[in-house]
């Protein structure tokens, strides 16, 4: 059974940093592109970042470029999102999603999300 | 960036009746090399992550009831729930996965 479990969220002050993790199981992690998608409270879905299965070609939304870094450890089956210079606009539930074998940009499995709150 | 729009914002449908949600993209999502539309539909129930329902505009994900169907091509797409059930109350999002940044529609809330 495919499982994605996010962790690392919490309350952080503006300008602070946080690292999110997504532990994957039930599939060959290194064979799949992985994504982060966020959802502000009561709002819609916003794609944040993508990384290929071998860890190459990280890609970011303009709103996080230069502040966020996506990475993965295929030996540990874990996806990461390092978030720096956080602002109130980054407050959201952060989901990791698995890229489908049909199309790497298609998210076929989603975790339950980890909540990031940026506030003083 | 490709902009996705949806209509209506919300709709209320009686149990057993049809629900239709429209999605429009600012650019064509049809890739001529494989004749596939890079358009997906997701269902999100309160307190839950999104669930993939439809991809390639009309291919139902495994396990999704056949009352859900997708249609359309190019820039105009439709999600149809043929006979609404109580468990279908949710917000439905379309998404283009053709180009990064991947973009979602604003969502359509479906109620009884």
Bridge partner list, B43: B51, B92
Distance CA A107, CA A36 (A): 10
Q: Is A45 on the interface with B (CB under 8 A)?
A: yes
pLDDT-based confidence at residue A1 (cuts at 50, 70, 90): very high
Residue B101 backbone phi and psi in degrees, to 5: -70, 130
Question: Can you state the percent helix, strand and coil of chain A, rounding each to 5?
Answer: 5, 50, 45
Q: Do B93 and A45 touch (CB under 8 A)?
A: yes
Residue B88 backbone phi and psi in degrees, to 5: -90, -5
Quote the pLDDT of residue B12.
96
Distance CA B43, CA B24 (A): 17
User: Strands A10-12 and A114-118, how do they pair?
Assistant: parallel
Take residue B63 and report the two structure tokens written for it: 């396990």
Q: Do A102 and B42 touch (CB under 8 A)?
A: no
Name every residue in B having a CB less than 8 A away from some CB of A: 38, 40, 42, 44, 48-52, 55-56, 61, 93, 95, 97-98, 100-107
Q: Do B105 and A44 touch (CB under 8 A)?
A: yes
Quote the pLDDT of residue A29.
97
Q: How many CB atoms lie within 10 A of CB A50?
A: 24
pLDDT tens, residue by residue, B48-98 = 999 999 999 999 999 999 999 999 999 999 999 999 999 999 999 999 999
């Amino acid at each position: 059974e495919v499982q994605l479990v996010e962790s690392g969220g919490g309350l952080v002050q503006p300008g602070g940093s946080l690292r999110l993790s997504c532990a994957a199981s039930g599939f060959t992690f290194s064979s799949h592109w992985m994504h982060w998608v966020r959802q502000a409270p009561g709002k819609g879905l916003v794609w944040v970042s993508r990384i290929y299965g071998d860890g190459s070609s990280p890609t970011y939304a303009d709103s996080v470029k230069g502040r966020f870094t996506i990475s993965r450890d295929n030996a540990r089956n874990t996806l990461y999102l390092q978030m720096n210079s956080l602002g109130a606009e980054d407050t959201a539930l952060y989901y990791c999603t698995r890229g489908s074998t049909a199309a790497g940009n298609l998210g076929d499995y989603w975790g339950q999300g980890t909540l990031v709150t940026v506030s003083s | 960036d490709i902009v996705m729009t949806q209509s209506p914002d919300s709709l209320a449908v009686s149990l057993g009746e049809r629900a239709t949600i429209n999605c429009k993209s600012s650019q064509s999502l049809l890739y001529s090399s494989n004749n596939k539309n890079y358009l997906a539909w997701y269902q999100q129930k309160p307190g839950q992550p999104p669930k993939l329902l439809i991809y390639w505009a009309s291919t139902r994900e495994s396990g999704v009831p056949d009352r859900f169907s997708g249609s359309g091509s190019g820039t105009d797409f439709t999600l149809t729930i043929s006979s609404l059930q109580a468990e279908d109350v949710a917000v439905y999002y379309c998404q283009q996965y053709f180009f990064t940044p991947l973009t979602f529609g604003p969502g359509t809330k479906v109620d009884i």
